[in-house]
Structure 1
Amino acid sequence: MKYLFFLAVGLLCSQTVFADTTDSLFKELNNALEKKSAYESIKLKRIEQTKNELEKGSELTAARLYAVCSDLYEEYKTFNYDSAFCYAKKLQEVSLQINDKQKTEEVKLKLGFILLSSGMFKETFDVLQSIHPNELTKQAKVEYYSLFARYYFDLADFHKDKYYTINYNQQGNALADSAMAICNKNSYDYLSLQGLKNLRNGDMEGATQNYEQILKFKNLTPHQYAINASSLSFIYANSGHEKESIELLVKAAIADVKSATKETVAILNLADILYKKGDTQTAYQYIKQALADATYYGARHREIQIGAILPIIEGQQLSTVEHQRKLLLVYSILATVLFLAVVAFIFITIRQLKKLKAADKIIKMANASLQHTNDLLKEANKIKDEYIVYYFNICSEYIDKLERFKKSIEQKLLLGKGDDLKSTLSKVDLHKEREGLFLSFDKVFLKLFPNFVSGFNALLKDEDKIKLEDGQLMNAELRIFALIRIGITDNDRIAKILDYSVNTIYAYKTRIKKKSLVINDDFEAQIMKIQSV
């Protein structure tokens, strides 16, 4: 676990080596690289527009043809060696046609520049040796001595031989002095040459002042900015100002990309620094860009230089990728195990949920059953309470009647009034008493079940619905099913209560059920569903 923690931290750090203000510059560089083809398209479109003028052919004067070819050379000189070489040769032909010695010598300078940029040192030397400085303008002489100085400095960097390098640097310094002697001391050329000399001679402080002064110039081209920023970056790197060094290189690389410059070293040096810092992935991406630029331009010495670094970075990148692959495999295994654990957990959870649902269903059914039972008990309690009161009232009334009737009989017996006794007994009307009993029952029942009659009729067809007479609360059919609703279902008991025969009760029930809208077996169940208050 501890190993994985430090490994994760290491990977994070490798992707955020410069997690500070430099991040925004790297972001800008990466955005510029994404738009690299668009910047190149702009340059190619500009070149194509210039080339269109060459199609005029014989209509162009030699002077105009020289100017157009010169423009095309300027476009190509840091973009593509082959095309620049082609237009440099074309310029030689035109300069001979117009018989202008000054232009002929200047064309050699142009040819020498691209030969040196391409890494063709011998050919560069031959061209530079053939130039007659006396035929050059003052500015062209500065370019001549500067280019010759750069030739010897580049040779020193390329060979890195203890004996010859010293000699090359000395010759380069001498030629730089020749150029500086005819320059304005505050000019770009003078400061650039002085900075280069100071850098070669180890005067880092002097070189820093020179390049910092140059970078303050407002009219620098992107290529000039990139060259001087790269040089100052080298000085900063050797003086311990790592952050400033990297920022300058990134800015130089951005300038090269946006100006579609292929003859460049900024992104190569940046890749080398990033590799040494441990950011192999970014270094690999940048050095591939550097190789693509060098190949496109045709810079042979750059390709050799990149070829010495690229395999090392590629090897490290492959090691990093392999390490990441193994790490990914470990993560995949862990993720798989975790996934299986999650699946198992989900499976167990689903099973438990099913059990809980089943238990919940049983509980709900039990609760529903219990609620139904409670409702029945509540209803039974209501019925019981009402009918207990009703029972005691009836009993109390009949006891009072019996007591009065007893006293009346006793008085008549004491007085010997036998005839009056018969008359008193004849006044007792049992049918009327029973009707009064039924009326009391009806009142109590309808108090408990006020919707009984309408609920009962809802089970019958319209033509068979029971219609009660005025003042009538219930009839015999309704009372039979009223008794059933309060729980008296035995036909014998119903018959005794209503003073009917059992057959009569059967007949009433059968007749009603035949008229119902539900099947006979469900009729009494529907009666039981009629709610009490």
Structure 2
Amino acid sequence: MKYKSLFALILILALNTGYANSEVDSLINVLQKEISNSKIYIKTKEDKIANLKSLLTDEKASLNNQYFIINKIIDEYQYYSFDRALLFTEKNLDIAKKLKDKYKISESQLKLSRLLVDSGRYKEALDILKDIKRSNLNDNLLNIYYFNQKEAYSGLNFYTMVKINKNEYRELYYKYEDSLSKRIALSSAESMALLEKKYRDERKLPKALEINTQRLKNTKIGTREYSMVTFERSILYELLSDVDNQKKFLILSAISDIKSNVKDNASLSNLAMILYSEKDIDQAHQFISFSMEDAKFYNSQLRYVNISNVLTSITKAYDLRSSEQKFKLKTFLILISLLGLLLLAVVVYVYKQKNKISLARNNLKEANEQLNSLNKELNIKNDDLNNLYMLLSKSNDIKVHYIGTFLNLYSEYIDKLDVYRKLVTKYITANKSRDLLDLTKSKQVIDTELKLFYKNFDESFLQIYPNFITEFNKLLKEEDQIVLKNNDEILNTELRIYALIRLGITNSSKISKILRYSVNTIYNFRVKIKNSAINREEFENQVKKIA
């Protein structure tokens, strides 16, 4: 049902001449699909024939039954395989002779002559027709007799090269055609076919197309009749120089031939010739090759010869084009190979460059990391320099401050000595020797000056090392850390001793002279503090490093 619907649609499209090019392309696609499906149709055909042949194996089958079955087999083989159709036709003729049935003998002879006519064996067909007595033929067989005569002389007229014979064959053709026309009904398929051919021969093409259209309505795709009507329609369009419609109906005829397993066909080879003239070598070669296979399968000598003439030209053009394509393909392959090698070289080059770039990026990354590290170090150094600058600036300020302080103190001590000198002079002038002696014996002046000295030293030292007490205590055990007892006290004796050590004065005798203690006292203080240190051996070195 699917195929019937499909080809009904194709038929509608084929009758619409408004879309010729697209229709032809679509129909060619369908034809190619049908060529692919041809083996399926062949198998169906063979299965049907096999079933008919199996009926002949029945021993109870009478000769009449056998004759009837063989007739069915002949119908299946008629346009499918000449050799097998001939074999069974001759077998049926033998059966008819055994039965001594004049009707069956004449029927078999007519079938044999029709087979020979269809395969182009015109002389052999006429020889058989000569042996048939027309008086033994009923109306139906007589029609077949005239038809076979007409077709035989039509073929001889078409193919003979001898002018005298050609005229003779033409006259005989018209004679039997006229006899046949008079015998058949005007509305019959045979009558319409003869009328169409008459109009075609007279070049009354519109009338011939009108008759063909009526005939086409009475046929179905996939039958021998449809194949013949569409083929004859393509001839009409050829005479009208309408190539698109000519191709269209040749394609429809070829599709019908394939579906009905008609191996004795002309439509596909004619289509191939048109495509060849249009330089469509691929499809022309495909179709002519398929048509040649059909001709070989059927064993039609006439069709085989006709196709061979065309096949040679198409195959030569196909081989030439194939050679050109192979040369182009070879050239393209060489170019592609060269381009492939070039591409490979480019890929290798790009890969190497990529590695170099990757390496350069890694180096750059490392350099950036080093630069960042150097920048950080530089920032630290800058900070250190800034700090150092601040310290130097501060140190300069301290130096200026303490130079001023020293000069001020020195000036004060000069003033004090001058006051003390004047006081001594005064006491001596006034003969107050005893009072002067009492004054010199008193330590009050020394104690006062010593306290002032300690105060100035403590303030000056802590101005330079403000974190000294905190950092110093970090070097001592927690329980032995120094806590100043008096809020007015800036440094105590232990701290002053190590303050001098921080300033680089490590000799106990020098420390004792500065602080006005005995050497033993200084030594005892140092031992005591060392014993309280976390790291006794490195204690004084650590003190020297306090910032």
Aligned CA distance change for structure 1 residues 376 and 119 (closer, same or farther; 3 Å): same
> Which moves more between the two structures, 404-413 or 350-359?
404-413
Paired amino acid for 1:418? I
C-alpha separation between the residues in 2 aligned to 1:202 and 1:375? Answer: 107
Aligned CA distance change for structure 1 residues 310 and 255 (closer, same or farther; 3 Å): same
Q: Deviations over 1:266-287 (max 9, x none)?
A: 1111122222222233222222
Question: Structure 1 stretches of 5 or more lacking a match?
Answer: 1-17, 443-465, 473-494, 509-533
Please show how residues 315-334 of structure 1 align to structure 2 within 5 Å: 315-334=316-335
Tell me how large the CA RMSD over aligned residues is. 3.9
Selected match of 2:467 from 414, 437, 444:
437
Paired amino acid for 1:85? L
1:478 maps to: none
C-alpha separation between the residues in 2 aligned to 1:343 and 1:274? Answer: 44
Q: Does 1:422 align with 2:441?
A: no
Q: Does 1:212 align with 2:242?
A: no
- Does the 8 Å contact 2:275/2:283 carry over to 1? yes
> What is the DSSP-based 3-state SS (H/G/I as helix, E as strand, rest coil) of the residue aligned with 2:57?
helix
Aligned CA distance change for structure 1 residues 420 and 330 (closer, same or farther; 3 Å): same
Q: Does 1:265 align with 2:277?
A: no
Aligned CA distance change for structure 1 residues 431 and 403 (closer, same or farther; 3 Å): closer
2:380 maps to: 379
> What is the DSSP-based 3-state SS (H/G/I as helix, E as strand, rest coil) of the residue aligned with 1:59?
coil
- Does the 8 Å contact 1:148/1:175 carry over to 2? yes
2:437 maps to: none
2:230 maps to: 229
C-alpha separation between the residues in 2 aligned to 1:358 and 1:407? Answer: 70
> What is the DSSP-based 3-state SS (H/G/I as helix, E as strand, rest coil) of the residue aligned with 1:35?
helix
> Which moves more between the two structures, 423-432 or 271-280?
423-432
2:54 maps to: 52
Please show how residues 331-350 of structure 1 align to structure 2 within 5 Å: 331-350=332-351
C-alpha separation between the residues in 2 aligned to 1:265 and 1:142? Answer: 25
Paired amino acid for 2:451? S
Alpha-carbon shift at residue 161 of structure 1 (Å):
3.9
- Does the 8 Å contact 2:285/2:318 carry over to 1? yes
Aligned CA distance change for structure 1 residues 110 and 497 (closer, same or farther; 3 Å): farther
1:174 maps to: 175
Q: Does 1:40 align with 2:42?
A: yes
Matched residues, percent identical? 22
TM-score computed with the length of structure 1 as normaliser: 0.71
Alpha-carbon shift at residue 40 of structure 1 (Å):
0.8
- Does the 8 Å contact 2:222/2:260 carry over to 1? no
Alpha-carbon shift at residue 363 of structure 1 (Å):
2.8
Aligned CA distance change for structure 1 residues 499 and 299 (closer, same or farther; 3 Å): farther
Q: Deviations over 1:18-53 (max 9, x none)?
A: 974311111111111122222211111111122222
1:81 maps to: 82
C-alpha separation between the residues in 1 aligned to 2:112 and 2:352? Answer: 84
Paired amino acid for 2:328? L
> Which moves more between the two structures, 244-253 or 348-357?
348-357
Paired amino acid for 2:321? T
Please show how residues 114-513 of structure 1 align to structure 2 within 5 Å: 114-219=115-220, 222-385=223-386, 414=416, 417-426=445-454, 433=462, 436-438=466-468
Aligned CA distance change for structure 1 residues 237 and 430 (closer, same or farther; 3 Å): same
- Does the 8 Å contact 1:169/1:200 carry over to 2? no
Q: Deviations over 1:138-186 (max 9, x none)?
A: 3433333222211111222222443333332332232222222232322
Aligned CA distance change for structure 1 residues 440 and 179 (closer, same or farther; 3 Å): farther
> What is the DSSP-based 3-state SS (H/G/I as helix, E as strand, rest coil) of the residue aligned with 1:119?
coil
Alpha-carbon shift at residue 192 of structure 1 (Å):
1.4
- Does the 8 Å contact 2:157/2:170 carry over to 1? yes
- Does the 8 Å contact 1:142/1:180 carry over to 2? no
> What is the DSSP-based 3-state SS (H/G/I as helix, E as strand, rest coil) of the residue aligned with 1:313?
helix
C-alpha separation between the residues in 2 aligned to 1:313 and 1:30? Answer: 18
- Does the 8 Å contact 2:222/2:257 carry over to 1? no
Alpha-carbon shift at residue 254 of structure 1 (Å):
1.2
TM-score computed with the length of structure 2 as normaliser: 0.69
Alpha-carbon shift at residue 103 of structure 1 (Å):
2.7
Paired residues in the alignment total 440
Selected match of 2:28 from 26, 29, 44:
26
- Does the 8 Å contact 1:32/1:254 carry over to 2? yes
- Does the 8 Å contact 1:236/1:245 carry over to 2? yes
